Structure 1
Amino acid sequence: MYHKEKSIQIKNSASALYNNLSVLRIAPRRLTYFTVVHANVVNMVSASWDGLNYSHRQLQSKEPNVATSTSLIMQAAFCVLPSRDLLVITSQKGIQMYESDGSIMVYWHALDTPETPTATYCIFMGKNPQFCCLFLSLGISSGAILVFDVPSKGSNITLSEVLEEHKESITDVASECSGSQECIADLVSADDGGNLCVWKSGEEFQLLNKIPGFDMTCSSVKLWKGTVVAGYGTGQIRLYEAVTGILHAEVSAHARWIYSLDIAPFSGLLLSAAEDSLVRVWHLTVTPETNSVEIAHLHNECVTDTQICGAKFCDGDGYAFAVTGYDLSEIIRYTQS
Structure 2
Amino acid sequence: MFRRERSLPLRGSAAALCNNLSVLQMPARNLTHFGVVHGPSAQLLSAAPEGVPLAQRKLHAKEGAGVSPPLITQMYESDGSVMVYWHALDSGDASPVQAVFARGIASSGHFICVGTWSGRVLVFDIPAKGPNIVLSEELAGHQTSVTDIATEPAQGQDCVADMVTADDSGLLCVWRSGPEFKLMTQIPGFGVPCPSVQLWHGAVAAGYGDGQVRLYEASTGTLHVQISAHARAICALDLAPEVGKLLSAAEDTFVHIWKLSRSPESGHTEVEHCHGECVPDTQVCGARFCDPSGSSFAVTGYDLAEILRFSSV
Contact 1:180 1:225 (C-alpha < 8 Å) held by counterparts: no
- Aligned residues: percent identity? 52
CA distance in structure 2 between the partners assigned to 1:181 and 1:254 by the alignment: 36
Matched, 1:98 2:106: no
Contact 1:15 1:37 (C-alpha < 8 Å) held by counterparts: yes
Matched, 1:36 2:36: yes
The corresponding residue for 2:21 is: 21
Contact 2:8 2:52 (C-alpha < 8 Å) held by counterparts: no
> For structure 2, which runs of at least 5 residues remain unmatched after alignment?
none
Contact 1:63 1:93 (C-alpha < 8 Å) held by counterparts: no
Deviations 1:154-175 (A, max 9, x none): 2100000100110010000100
CA-CA distance at 1:266 after TM superposition: 0.3
Moved more, 49-58 or 143-152: 49-58
Task: Report the secondary structure of 1:213's partner residue.
Answer: coil
The corresponding residue for 1:5 is: 5
Deviations 1:60-101 (A, max 9, x none): 0112156x96x4xxxxxxxxxxxxxxxxxxxx2111000101
The AA in structure 2 aligned to 1:108 is W
CA distance in structure 2 between the partners assigned to 1:244 and 1:65 by the alignment: 45
Report the number of matched residues. Answer: 307
Matched, 1:121 2:104: yes
Task: Report the secondary structure of 1:49's partner residue.
Answer: coil
Task: Report the secondary structure of 1:218's partner residue.
Answer: coil
CA distance in structure 1 between the partners assigned to 2:2 and 2:23 by the alignment: 18
Moved more, 11-20 or 46-55: 46-55
Contact 2:8 2:53 (C-alpha < 8 Å) held by counterparts: no
CA distance in structure 2 between the partners assigned to 1:270 and 1:119 by the alignment: 25
The corresponding residue for 2:245 is: 269
CA-CA distance at 1:111 after TM superposition: 0.8
The corresponding residue for 2:273 is: 297
The corresponding residue for 1:286 is: 262
CA-CA distance at 1:330 after TM superposition: 0.3
CA distance in structure 2 between the partners assigned to 1:107 and 1:298 by the alignment: 41
The corresponding residue for 1:323 is: 299
CA-CA distance at 1:181 after TM superposition: 4.3
Deviations 1:254-274 (A, max 9, x none): 000000000000010000000
Matched, 1:334 2:310: yes
CA distance in structure 1 between the partners assigned to 2:53 and 2:284 by the alignment: 26
CA distance in structure 1 between the partners assigned to 2:169 and 2:53 by the alignment: 43
CA-CA distance at 1:53 after TM superposition: 4.3
Contact 2:102 2:114 (C-alpha < 8 Å) held by counterparts: no
Task: Report the secondary structure of 2:28's partner residue.
Answer: helix
> For structure 1, which runs of at least 5 residues remain unmatched after alignment?
72-91, 127-131
CA distance in structure 1 between the partners assigned to 2:102 and 2:206 by the alignment: 17
Task: Report the secondary structure of 1:233's partner residue.
Answer: coil
CA-CA distance at 1:180 after TM superposition: 4.5
CA distance in structure 1 between the partners assigned to 2:192 and 2:50 by the alignment: 42
Q: TM-score, normalised by structure 1?
A: 0.88
The corresponding residue for 1:107 is: 85
Q: TM-score, normalised by structure 2?
A: 0.94
The corresponding residue for 1:228 is: 204
CA distance in structure 2 between the partners assigned to 1:239 and 1:157 by the alignment: 34
